[in-house]
Amino acid sequence: ILEFSKPKLPIFKDIYFFYLNSVIPLIGGLLTGDYQAYKYLAKSIESFPEKDVVRDMLKKAGFSEVYTESLTLEVVTLYLWKKI
């Protein structure tokens, strides 16, 4: 699964959250007429657990091979898992 994440690099984090909470809803709303969908996207990304929490949840669920990799300055995270 490729999931949006929350970057940790301080200056990039500030720019990212401004873009996520202000620019994306504005542009998405103008193009589609549905501002709320893009505000929901931002809230969804912000409320998604950190990758270490997801990794622990998967291991507790019985997945023995769990791999995560942060990509694009931690804007997205790749999750791979396998149950043996």
- What average pLDDT values come out for the chain (84 residues) when binned by 10 residues? 94 95 97 96 96 94 94 95 88
Q: What is the pLDDT of residue 84?
A: 80
pLDDT of residue 83: 87
Model pTM greater than 0.85?
no
Q: Whole-angstrom Cα distance, residue 53 to residue 3?
A: 14
Please state the length of the chain.
84
Backbone angles phi, psi at 5, to 5 degrees: -130, 180
Backbone angles phi, psi at 9, to 5 degrees: -60, 115
Instruction: Kindly state the greatest CA–CA separation across the chain.
Output: 47
Predicted pLDDT at 64: 86
